[in-house]
Amino acid sequence: MTPVDDLWFLASEADQAAAQAYHRLAESHDEYTEHTRTHHVSRNRFRTLARRINETGAPYGAHTIVYQSCGKLLLCRHEGVDMWVLPGGGVDPGESFHEAAHRELAEEAGVEATYDGLALLTRIHLRCGSHETWGVLPVFAASADTTEPQVRDPDNEISTAEWFDRLPPDTRDRDDLLTWRERSLSV
């Protein structure tokens, strides 16, 4: 007897949770830039991410683009991926995407900010062999109220947080951030 592969069921449930999260975000925000990304992942990673999507609609949580009035953007050095990233991370049970982004900003950079709304909404498509699902990655925009970063990351993934006039070459999702920055400066 062949064992039943439960990934198809998990992916189907994740699709439904992602669609609900996407529509809630899209309906509650007027302006944002939308992107689509596809990630090919291992079977174990697919299972982990699909479970996260089932719980929250998002495989990678919620993030924040924090900027100063002079145009500098805040990035955090994530040692696990060896790149500069936006502050952000997982959504805790009962937390909204906005609440998660705000909490993660406090933990990873210690900067106070005033939120302006949704900046980016990325549809993350996940593939593993013949299995596929998707989830959302909301990125909020916020203007800095304090400018001295203080990392208090309980996961010890973030080693430092800094302000940048120009994004370093090893910035995750660099092209998306540059597009957002050009669009926001032209408004």
Cβ-contact 121, 21 below 8 angstroms: no
Radius of gyration of the chain (CA): 17
Buried b or exposed e, range 114-126, using 16+ CB within 10 angstroms: ebeebbbbbebeb
pLDDT, tens digit (0-9, with 9 covering 90-100), for 62-118:
999 999 989 899 999 999 999 999 999 999 989 999 999 999 999 999 999 999 999
Q: How many CB atoms lie within 10 A of CB 56?
A: 23
Cβ-contact 95, 103 below 8 angstroms: yes
User: Which stretches of 94-155 are assigned E, i.e. beta strand?
Assistant: 113-128, 131-144
Segment holding 97, helix H or strand E = helix 97-108
Segment holding 74, helix H or strand E = strand 73-78
What's the token pair of residue 41?
A: 């992942």
Q: Where are the domains of the chain?
A: 7-185
Q: At what angle do helices 43-56 and 7-28 cross, to 10 degrees?
A: 40
pLDDT grade, residue 2 (50/70/90)?
Answer: very low
CA–CA dist 14, 121 (Å, integer):
17
**CA triplet 121, 91, 23: central angle to 5 degrees?**
40
pLDDT at 1: 41
Mean model confidence pLDDT for the chain: 92
Give how far Cα 72 sits from Cα of 14, 45, 63, 95, 117, Å. 36, 34, 17, 29, 18
pLDDT, tens digit (0-9, with 9 covering 90-100), for 104-123:
999 999 999 999 999 999 99
pLDDT at 71: 87
pLDDT, tens digit (0-9, with 9 covering 90-100), for 130-179:
999 999 999 999 999 988 999 998 888 999 999 999 999 999 999 888 88
Placement of tokens 């936006």 in the chain: 86
CATH number of the domain located at residue range(s) 7-185 in this protein? 3.90.79.10
CA–CA dist 14, 50 (Å, integer):
6
Q: Which range in 11-15, 151-155, 178-182 is most confidently predicted, on average pLDDT?
A: 11-15
pTM of the model: 0.92
CA–CA dist 151, 107 (Å, integer):
6
Query: Is the torsion defined by CA of 16, 155, 138, 86 positive or negative?
Result: negative
